[in-house]
A and B are shown apart, each in its own frame.
Chain A
């Protein structure tokens, strides 16, 4: 049971490049989410999904796209990277039932630098 996995661990992009951050979970969790972590700002929700084919925006969705074609995978796409997207990105998952009080399980993070 690997839990939540993220790839890559580190990535450097040039402004305007695109890339996809991968996230997968093997716990059959319906809820998955992406956060970015910036110094002094904690974690901010980018996008989330409550099941395959269902996604919604979080607090800071601009510049990011997501899709959810399977229960296991929830990739985050940066279509045209900007320096403001330099951050550490975390993927998390949780069972939907009783979501409000369920623990979220976090991946190890992807550190992204945009030059």
Chain B
């Protein structure tokens, strides 16, 4: 069955430090992959997505993610974290040809001064 795993429930990073959030997926076909961010009390907003082409994708707010087929991973990165990046981050995979998206459990990011 298809699944998305985010191994880290929460991560704490100092402001200005780099960030990497991990995401692994299980899906037989070529996946469509997404990262969404949820600020406290808000709905989800798309950060970036991958569906073909260059395996390094750029998103909003200075985020990027790299698709590695051999590792079934789609990790999210940011070189320098800002306090406003504190939020919950969800990795998701859309099933090809279907109408369903599977979300990971999320990683909550805390940013310390």
Contact = CB atoms under 8 A, between A and B. Distances in A.
Given A4-B43, A42-B105, A100 B49 contact: no
Nearest to B42: A108
Interface stretch (A11-19, A43-51, A62-70): A43-51
B100 A43 contact: no
B97 A100 contact: yes
Interface string A79-111: 000000000001010000001110110111100
B32 A48 contact: no
Contacts of A75: none
Contact of A101 (B6, B43, B49, B102): B49
B44 A45 contact: no
Contacts, number: 60
B51 A100 contact: yes
B25 to A, nearest CB: 13
A31 interface: yes
Interface residues of A, number: 25
Interface residues of B, number: 28
A7 B84 CA distance: 27
Given A41-B105, A43-B90, A58-B100, A100 B32 contact: yes
Interface of B: 4, 6, 9, 32, 34, 36, 41-46, 49, 51, 90, 94-106
13 contacts: A42-B104, A44-B103, A50-B99, A56-B99, A90-B43, A90-B44, A99-B94, A100-B98, A101-B32, A101-B49, A103-B49, A108-B43, A109-B42
Interface of A: 4, 31, 35, 40-45, 48, 50, 56, 58-59, 90, 92, 99-101, 103-104, 106-109
